[in-house]
Amino acid sequence: MSDSSVTSGKKTSKTFLLAALVIGVAVVGAWWWSQNSAEKTAQGPRMGGSFMGAVPVNAQQVRLDRFAVQLKALGTVTPWNAVSVTSQVSGELDKVLFDEGQFVEQGTLLAQIDPRNYQAALLQAEGALQETRAQLASAELDLKRYQGLYKEDSVARQTLEQQQAIVAQYKGTLKVREAQRDAARLDVEHTQITAPISGRLGLRAVDAGNYVSAATTELVNITQDNPIAINFTIPEHELQAVLQAYRQEQPLKVQAWNRDETELLAEGVLDSIDNQVDVTTGSVRLKARFDNPQQNLFPNQFVNVHLQVTVHEQALLLPADAIQFGSNGRFVWQIKDDDTVVIQPIEIITSDGTSSMLRSGLAAGDWVVVEGVDRLRSGSKVERVAPAGSEPAVSTELAVQPVTDSEQAGRGAGKQPQQKPAE
């Protein structure tokens, strides 16, 4: 085979490989272009930062309604009265006459100390008192006798004065003996330990047969839990609003909720406010009073406290979830009559976490976006849809006036907006 034919064959092979490579690149480029075009077609062209077509959102209306301004705090349930029962005399605990957890009235007999030593001391005091009374009676008879003799100049004045001093001495001794008798009698009474207040007993701290020391050994504790108190604190910057409401004739309502704030345990009133601010925490202590007949509140229980400061009967309210935060402050996405949205700055007076009370920025009946704000741009077209499983939102605050045929034709697109249920 000649050299020219070999060279020609090599050139043909190179040409074929180059053509195959070009065709492969073209096929890959065509596939990529078709995929990218399909994705753009599915997404649609963007205009002004928003998607073409209506963006589904959940919207609600601004409404006029009753709004209670509340302060929330953590509180501790405390007994209205609590007593640690101890004995006022020392001795062996003879009897325990109560059951743990029992409700007792004031004056109920709870326990008894062995009274024999104190009964003996009482007899001794009564004997000494009787002796002193006899001595005083004898001294008074002698005094009368000396007074008669002194008138007859039969005794010296000194003797009469000495007898008068003896009578006065016995009278003083008599008072001492009477006090000793009363103290001994009181000790005998103190051997019977009674409930100082009405309330519920705790667990027994000592059993019968043990030696009890006066004012030292605790027998049991009693807590008065109806009524019951809740102690809580508020920041000092909220104190003035509470004081202004507290000085009014109507008592401030207080609610006690469980830890999860899912169950209302009891309702009461604010009873008292502390007389100073705690400088270490910058807070003020408050005490609320609750009727507790069902024992829903238990001493030392932690609860969530809602203190109602004031009530606005016609407050302008919007859902708290509709409020957004930007560099210029709070704003909402307001839906116009043509179903487009705009950024609307607002001012808030207060909020309870569910609804916020407006100062300015919106009017009753305005629609605001609650869910679906992540895809919105100013001027975006929106479609109102209700959350899955709920009914379409319909305004209940604004009265719906009948519309005539001529008015309907004149309004055109200005119909009352409705929310469609989510697909």
What is the DSSP secondary-structure string of 109-141?
A: EEEEE--HHHHHHHHHHHHHHHHHHHHHHHHHH
Residue 16 above 80 pLDDT? no
Alpha-carbon distance 130 to 122, whole Å? 12
Residue 404 above 70 pLDDT? no
- The pLDDT value given to residue 229: 97
- The pLDDT value given to residue 252: 92
User: Where in the chain are all domains bearing CATH 2.40.30.170?
Assistant: 71-79+223-313
- The pLDDT value given to residue 413: 42
pLDDT in tens, 196-213: 999 999 999 999 999 999
pLDDT in tens, 340-397: 999 999 998 888 778 888 988 888 989 999 988 888 888 888 888 876 555 554 443 3
Q: Which of 186-190, 301-305, 404-408 has the lowest mean pLDDT?
A: 404-408
* Rounded percentage of the chain residues whose pLDDT exceeds 90: 51
Q: Give the class (CATH, top level) of 71-79+223-313.
A: mainly beta
Residue 401 above 60 pLDDT? no
The whole model's pTM is what? 0.64
- The pLDDT value given to residue 394: 45
Task: Output the 3-class SS for 171-229.
Answer: HHHHHHHHHHHHHHHHHHHHCEEECCCCEEECCCCCCCCCEECCCCCEEEEEEEEEEEE
User: Where in the chain are all domains bearing CATH 1.10.287.470?
Assistant: 115-190
- The pLDDT value given to residue 390: 54
CATH 1.10.287.470 fits 115-190, yes or no: yes
Residue 3 above 70 pLDDT? no
Confidence of residue 49 (pLDDT cuts 50, 70, 90): very low
- The pLDDT value given to residue 174: 95
What's the token pair of residue 272?
A: 């008292």
Residue 155 above 90 pLDDT? no
Q: Is-contact 221 83, C-beta < 8 A? A: yes
* DSSP helix/strand/coil, 162: helix
pLDDT in tens, 103-117: 999 999 999 999 999
- The pLDDT value given to residue 14: 66
Alpha-carbon distance 341 to 174, whole Å? 100
- The pLDDT value given to residue 45: 38
- The pLDDT value given to residue 40: 43
Alpha-carbon distance 113 to 212, whole Å? 8
H/E stretch holding 355 reads strand 355-360
CATH topology of domain 51-62+323-421: 2.40.420
Alpha-carbon distance 240 to 146, whole Å? 80
pLDDT in tens, 93-105: 999 999 999 999 9
Any residues with CB less than 8 A from the CB of 158 and at least 6 apart, and which? none
Q: What mean pLDDT comes out for the span 7-28?
A: 67
What's the token pair of residue 64?
A: 């006029």
135 φ/ψ angles, rounded to the nearest 5 degrees = -65, -40
